[in-house]
Amino acid sequence: MIDCIFCRIVAGEIPATRVFEDADTIAFRDIHPAAPTHLLVIPKRHIASLEDVTGADCGILGRMLWNAQRAARAEGLADGGYRLVMNVGENAGQAVPHVHLHVLGGRPFSWPPG
Ligand code: 5GP
Ligand code: ZN
């Protein structure tokens, strides 16, 4: 298997607090939360970056967004609102090369981001 920390979480080799799972994606708590609620929604299949996505991946991307909504609702974030972030590449500060959607909530967020 490719040596990827999020693939290892999918495989259960590294523990993570899962809050949601379906056939294609999982959502788990970020180990260094940047907000009272901070989840990561990832595809179970390894995709390094949004830059590696093709039209064949539209289904999984849509499912990630839908599951971000479902996880945010389950966490009680829907009324107050929440922020979704996907970092892509170096300038954005992407640290883990496995596509992931941050779901952040439980406090107000400023705009523009730093
Ligand atoms: P990025 O900067 O790549 O967009 O975000 C990567 C995120 O993954 C960071 O917020 C970081 O805290 C989180 N993270 C890195 N390693 C682990 C881990 O082993 N477990 C969990 N739950 N989160 C991780
Ligand atoms: Zn991976």
Pocket test for ligand 1, best of 32, 39, 50 (most atoms within 8 A of CB): 32
What's the pTM value of the predicted model, to 2 decimals? 0.97
For the CA of 88, the nearest ligand: 1
- Collect the ranges in the chain with pLDDT lower than 70: 1
65-77 burial string, b = 16+ CB within 10 Å, else e? eebbebbbeebeb
Of 20, 27, 5, whose CA–CA distance to 101 is shortest? 27
pLDDT at 2: 74
